[in-house]
Amino acid sequence: MNRRALLTSLALAPVIGGCRRMAVAGTPPPDLPPLRTITPGAFGTCVQVANLSDPAWLDLARTHVSQLTPEWEMKMEYILADGLGRPRLDRADRIAAFAHDNGMALHGHTLIWYAQGQEAFAGLDNAAFDRAFDGYIATVAGRYRGKVRSWDVVNEPILDDGSGLRDCHWSRRYGQDGYILRAFEKARIADPDAVLFLNEYNLEGIPAKGNQFLRLVERLLRAGCPLQGLGTQSHLWIDIPDGQIAAFIHELSQFGLPIHVSELDVSLRTGDRPDLRGQQERLVRQTARVTELAEAYSGLPPAQQFAFTTWGLRDTDSWFRRDDKDDGKDRPLPFDAFGQPNPMARALAAAFRA
């Protein structure tokens, strides 16, 4: 049995055996140490203000988590809901205060995203657009200066198929590379101490998109962009070919920059196509993908192991469980609805301790 197969079998053993150890809330089972204590770099999760009123979530987070990423309430859609003149920062403030009070790092997410901001900026002439763009970054990044460890400065600039960069309201004003450069330059001024990340999804699963990301990073660095970290969201699917995830992480590491696995989840769903495989077979595939990613991250030089973040802690926290296709059976995250470890949590622990 090779090493990856052994780690997969160890992660699945409690499920296959039909026995799941129960633990006091907030206390990990004896075979699962707090993930924050064994993860190279920080172990993170996303958070919404509603989580801060959930005692079970609080126990789980305080046990396993050392870094938080606001899932939605630090994004432009929330902050500019009342227009450019009245930014809403109340919920981001609450999350920042919670992170500070609990000794957790805070990763800011996100300053500029193609999917948000169009309505607030619509109708502005060029000069007003520039003032609003620069002012937004100065206001938000400046407010959390000294409170955040890092920022996703630009989120998801690449087309889904990897054929090029997205056309959006930002690129129509500044150019496809230009708006990214401008955002990083303004973020650097607003918070000189934060680590500034470019963040993107499906890099491991779609080679053309991964390659486009690498080329974009090369161009930005050549242009003098103060880009300091690379975020791969890692919303993985179970049928990514073996070895493809590790190969991309290796390519990403060649820049020598810190790497953030920034939004990990692995749905057991396979889209709309028929899939006759049972739940257990899908979990085996999921565990193999998670193991490969965690091993590749663990193999990075320590200076590049920035953080390993899951996009939620419990299955019921996941965005996959919020849509009209949810059948209550998906298990995309490390812990189940009761805070007990899924195979994913055990896969992470096995890989990080190997």
pLDDT tens string 217-232: 999 999 999 999 999 9
Say if CB 239 and CB 268 are below 8 A apart.
no
Closest CA relative to residue 165, chosen from 130, 101, 212: 212
Confidence check: pLDDT of 268 > 60: yes
d(CA 52, CA 157): 31
Q: How far apart are CA 137 and CA 120, in angstroms?
A: 14
- Find out if CATH 3.90.1150.10 is the number for domain 3-18+25-353: no
Give the percent of the chain with pLDDT over 70.
Answer: 91
Higher pLDDT among residues 33 and 8, named by residue: 33
How confident is the model over 169-185, as a mean pLDDT? 98
* Claim: this prediction has a pTM higher than 0.75: yes
User: Is 175 in contact with 135 (CB distance < 8 Å)?
Assistant: no
What pLDDT, on a 0 to 100 scale, did the predictor assign at position 328? 81
Cα 2 to Cα 9, 42, 221, 227, 248: the distances in Å are 11, 28, 39, 38, 21
Question: Using one digit for the tens of pLDDT, what is the confidence trace for 287-345?
Answer: 999 999 999 999 999 999 999 999 999 999 999 988 776 778 899 999 999 999 999 99
What is the DSSP track for 6-40?
HHHHHHHHHHHTT------TT---TTS--HHHHSS
The full set of domain ranges for the chain reads: 3-18+25-353
